Structure 1
Amino acid sequence: MNPPITLIPGWRLGRGPLAPLANALGAEWYDLPGYRETPFTADFADAVTRLIATVLPGTVLVGWSLGAMIALAAAARAPHHIGGVVVIGGTPSFVTRDGWSHGLTPEALAEFRAAIAEDEPAMLPRFVGGFNRGEPESKTLTAEILATADPAPSLEILLAGLDWLATVDLRAELPSITTPVLVIHGENDPLIPCAAGEAIAQNVPQGKWLPIPNAAHAPFLRHQATIVEAVSSLVS
C-alpha cells in the first residue's frame, strides 16, 4: 500500500490552481495557517508543529512554494514521522542572505509587502503574472491561476506569510532531513531561482533533482503527467 499524500498550497492562492494535481495524486489537503479550516498562527514553528500533529505517520508531503518550506521544516523536525517530501518551486531561504544569493532581496520583499498591505487585489495579477514569466503560455497560465485561486484570507494572514518568507532560513536544517526528498523546479522560474531548488536536492541526504524545462513557478499546470510520474516513483 502506498503512503498517504498531503498537498500544501503556497501563499495566497490556495487549493484552486493545485486541484488537478491533487486529484491526480489522490492527495489530501493541508492548508496554510488561516486558510480554510486550518487555525491561524503567526508563528512558523507552531505551524510546523501543528502540521506534524495532523498528518498520519509515513505521510508524503507535497508542498508548493511557501508550502514546501513548511513541509521541509516538518521533515527536519520529525524525520521518522514524515515519509517523504516533494518540493515544487521551493527554497530553503526566500530572500538573499550572507552566503545565499538565490532569492529576492529583503528590500524587494519589503516593498512587495507594503504594496500588498495597501492594495492586495490590485497586486494579485502582477504577482501571478510575474511568476509566470518564462512560460511559453504565460498570459494563459496567469488567467487560469487567477480564475481558480481561492478567495483571499485576511490581510493579517497574508502578511504573516510574507513575514515567514522574510525570516525563515532552513539551510542548516537540510542535512537533518533523512527522508527522501524530490525537488521539482521550473527551469525558468523568475520568483525562486532554479539554483535554490537544486541546493535543496544537493544538501539533503536523499535528494532527487527534477528540473522542468520551459516552466516557471507553477510547473504543475502544464507538466502534470511528468510530476505525477515522479511522485509515484517516490511513494511506490
Structure 2
Amino acid sequence: MSTARPTLFLLHGWAMESRIFSPWINALAGDFRCQSWDLPGHGGKPCPPQGLDWEESLLTLQGAVEALSRPVVLGWSLGGLFALALALRFPELLGGLVLIDSSPCFVQREDWPWALTSSALDAFAHELLADGRAVRRRFLALQTQGDPAARAQLAAAQRWPLPDPRCLLDGLQLLRDKDLRPQLRPLPFPVLILQGEADRIVPPAAARQLQSSLAGSRLQLLKAGHAPFLSHPEACSQALRSTFYHD
C-alpha cells in the first residue's frame, strides 16, 4: 500500500455502537482517514422491519465500502464477522482487512472448540428479553475480564442508550449460526489479526486457526482481553501502521 493516508472503515461489536472507537480514532487520525459505521438498531439507527438481516447488511456495507474507494475495513467481534464476509465476497472493493478479536465461527462446533458454547448465547438471548441493560453489563464484564484498562474505558458504555432489542437478538442469532470457515482463503490485500491473549469470548487459538486459513495474514497477540484497541491503543495503532504503510 502506498504511503498516502489510507481510509479506515470501522465496524463495532455486539451491543455496542461506533462511538466505542472514538478515543482510538483520535490517535489514528494522523495516519488514517477514519469512518465508523453503526449496525442497524445500534447507535441511534432504527432497527428495520427485517431486523439485523445478514444479506441486507452485507449489501448496505458493500455500497458504503464501494463509495470509499478500496478502504481498509476493520471489524471488532461481531463487526469482524461482517468485515470478513465482506472481504470474502467483495475482495475487489477492499484495500485491506483488520480483524480484532473476531472469529469465522463464534460458537463451538464438533471440529471447532475455540469458541463460546451455544448455551452461553442462549442465556444471553433469554436474559435479553427480561433485562437488556443487565445483559449488556454482563457481556461487558466478560469482554474485559482480566483487562482492567479496557474495563475503565468501557465503563462509559453502560450509560449509552441500549440498542434495539430486536436487532440485539438478531445479532446473537448471527453469532450462533454463521460459520465462514468453508469460505476462508488467501485474500489479495494485507490482512491483520489483532487478538487479546486473555479474551474470554474469542480464544487466541481461534485467531491462530484463522491466520492459518488466511495465508499471508499477520497475527499479533496482545496482553489484553476482548477490546485491545481500548486497553492498548498505541500497540494496535502501531500494528496498523506497520501493516498498511511501507517505505
Q: TM-score, normalised by structure 2?
A: 0.87
Which stretch of structure 1 is more off in the superposition, 174-183 or 4-13?
A: 174-183
Q: Give the AA of the match of 1:33.
A: P
1:147 deviation in Å? 1.1
- How big is the shift at 1:46? 2.0
- From 192, 195, 209, the equivalent of 2:219 is 209
**Which residue of the partner structure matches residue 95 of structure 1?**
107
Match of 1:168 among 155, 162, 178: 178
- Partners of 1:179 and 1:37 lie apart in 2 by 31
> Hey, what does 2:232 align to over in structure 1?
223
Secondary structure (helix, strand or coil) at the match of 1:13 reads: coil
Deviations 1:146-194 (A, max 9, x none): 3145421211011111111011111112215333210001001011111
**Partner residue, 2:98:** 86
Q: Establish whether residue 30 from structure 1 lines up as the match of residue 37 from structure 2.
A: yes
Moved more, 3-12 or 40-49: 40-49
Q: How many equivalent residue pairs?
A: 232
Choose which of 188, 195, 200 in structure 2 pairs with 1:190. 200
Q: Which moved more, 1:30-39 or 1:98-107?
A: 30-39
User: CA separation in 2, counterparts of 1:201 and 1:99?
Assistant: 17
Structure-1 separation of matches of 2:209 and 2:188: 16
Paired-residue identity, %: 34
Q: How far apart, in 2, do the equivalents of 1:123 and 1:47 lie?
A: 24
- Tell me which amino acid in the other structure corresponds to 1:6: F
In the TM superposition, what whole-angstrom CA distance separates every residue of 1:38-71 from its partner, at most 9, and x where no partner exists?
A: 7744321221121111122211011110001100
Q: Which one-letter code corresponds to 1:32 in the other structure?
A: L
The equivalent residue for 2:87 is 75
Contact 2:143/2:201 (<8 A) preserved: yes
Q: What are the residue-to-residue correspondences of 1:132-171 with 2, within 5 Å?
A: 132-135=144-147, 137=148, 141-148=150-157, 150-171=160-181
TM-score (norm 1): 0.91
Note if 1:49 corresponds to 2:59. Answer: yes
User: Which 4+ runs in 1 deviate beyond 6 A?
Assistant: none
Quote the Cα distance in structure 2 between the aligned partners of 1:212 and 1:180: 19
Which one-letter code corresponds to 1:28 in the other structure? Q
Is the contact between residue 132 and residue 217 of structure 1 (CA under 8 Å) also seen in structure 2? Answer: yes
Unpaired stretches in structure 1, ≥5 consecutive residues: none
Segment drifting more, 107-116 vs 12-21:
12-21
Write out aligned runs for 1:9-24 (5 A): 9-24=12-27
SS at match of 2:91: coil
> 8 Å contact 2:186–2:216 — kept in the other structure?
no
Paired residue secondary structure (2:38): coil
Q: What is the rounded CA distance, in whole Å, between the counterparts of 1:182 and 1:173 in structure 2?
A: 18
Whole-angstrom distance in 1 between the partners of 2:124 and 2:232:
29
Residues 196-225 of structure 1 deviation map (CA, whole Å, 9 limit, x = unaligned): 122221111331000002x11011122111
Q: Offset of 1:25 from its aligned partner?
A: 2.1
What is the distance in 2 between the residues matched to 1:24 and 1:200? 28
The aligned residue for residue 9 of structure 2 is 6
Distance 2:108 2:188 in 1: 26
CA distance in 1, matches of 2:221, 2:195: 5
What are the Cα deviations for residues 91-134 of structure 1, in whole angstroms up to 9, with x where unaligned?
Answer: 11110113111111112211211111211112222211122112
